[in-house]
Chains A and B, each alone.
Chain A
Amino acid sequence: MSEPPHLPMTEPQQREITRLCVESGLRLMQHGAESALIESLSCRLGLALGVRSVEVAVMANALILTTLGADHCITTVRRSADRGINMHVITEVQRAILEVEEGRLDPASYRAALEAVQPLRYPRWLLSLVIGLSCACFARLAEADVEACGLVFLASGLAMYVRLRLAKLHFSPLLTFFASAFVATSLAGLGLLLKLTLTPRIALATCVLFLVPGFPLINGVSDMVKGYSNIGLARLAWATLLSAASCGGILLAMTVWKLWGWP
């Protein structure tokens, strides 16, 4: 990475660069990047486009960014709404920024590239299928019998479909997780009630594994480790809330269908 030239720039130019930086950071933030990545990529973009320095403050639901130009600085704030984890967007934004650093994009063409990034979404039926399959694999890894794995496949697949449908209707993720945990546990509980399998407990445990909030947990820990304690705590609290909602769904299903009893 060579030292970029500090070009003399006019105020409108600096304003546009500031907007590009904050909008790139915002895209990363909305789609689940960790704070260190948000900060380093928006800084690198600004430096590559020729401002003297970029200062970023990442907050739990907003992004504050200042660029320092030749003789003044510009500060701007953007509110961030969560758009769901999407690694495709993060990859595309990062690649565009790498191209700016290599000198292959100027501000105008970078804006075009940024606006052309459309979030990739896999179809709902496909996601339900692979999540069902994944949870069946978890059951197998935990040494469940084949009947239990089949049951987990059905339970998790259907529950994932419910989760995606509810998310599409813009219910709160907490309600969505609660409902899908209820559906998954109810279906897997059939194994215990109808004695379909010899390992019903493993089926009950693994059918809800797709609700473990892996990304908030891991991002939360890495934010904390890298010194972004505020947003790290916010992420960990959110992960805890999501897990609590799933626990509520599991408990409700166990109470309604009387799935109690220690093996």
Chain B
Amino acid sequence: MNLLLGLLSNMLLAAIPAAGFGMSFNVPRRVLLWCAAGGALGRGLRFLLLRTGMPIPWATLLAAAAVSSLGVYAAQRLRAHPKVFTVAAMIPMIPGVPIYTALIALIEIQRRGLTNELLSTALSSALLSVFIVAALAIGLALPGLLFYRRRPVV
């Protein structure tokens, strides 16, 4: 029950920003629904995978690949390039808090001098963000790399 509630709230909370960022990329109105669906699928799948104990970069990779596959399906139905809505759907998985933490820790090192605690915060947050962003980009490219090697999706 708790799991289901967590899943649903995660999916809803991801669908809104996915559609919101879709609007800031001027995605056409009818396609916004696909942005929201992609955002919900990505975040929801990642939530479930994290529950099984998978590390967050790998969970992100699989979730991004799932969103990208949904994007291929939707692209063929809508006659539009998948990037049109998959990029907005990736936004809720961008590691905002780790990026910010790394940045602030780096500045604190400059202001207050180096301590082991600050250095380890800065490094581990920065590495985590880099891994997650790389996983997002690779996952997004995965259907193209595996299945659409020499032919266009649309």
- What is the interface of chain A, defined by CB distance below 8 A to chain B? 32-34, 37, 40, 44, 84-91, 94-95, 98, 119-122, 126-127, 130-131, 133-135, 137-138, 140-142, 160, 202, 204-206, 208-210, 212, 214-215, 217-219, 221-222, 225, 247, 250-251, 260, 262
Contacts and interface: CB of A to CB of B under 8 A. Distances in A.
A4 B58 CA distance: 44
Interface in B54-101: 78-81, 83-85, 87-88, 90-92, 94, 96-97, 99-101
If over half of B's interface residues share one DSSP class (helix, strand or loop), that class is named, otherwise mixed; here it is: helix
Contacts of A208: 100
Nearest to A130: B20
B90 A87 contact: no
A88 B26 contact: yes
Contacts of B13: 137, 140-141
Nearest to A34: B83
B16 A137 contact: yes
Interface string B3-30: 0000000100110110111111111100
Nearest to B83: A34
Assign chain B's interface to a size class: 35 or more
Interface in B36-51: 43
Contacts of A141: 10, 13-14, 43, 92
Contacts of A98: 79, 154
B14 A205 contact: no
A126 B136 CA distance: 28
A240 B81 CA distance: 26
A208 B97 CA distance: 10
Nearest to B100: A205
Contacts of A131: 20-21, 24
A40 B92 CA distance: 30
B139 to A, nearest CB: 11
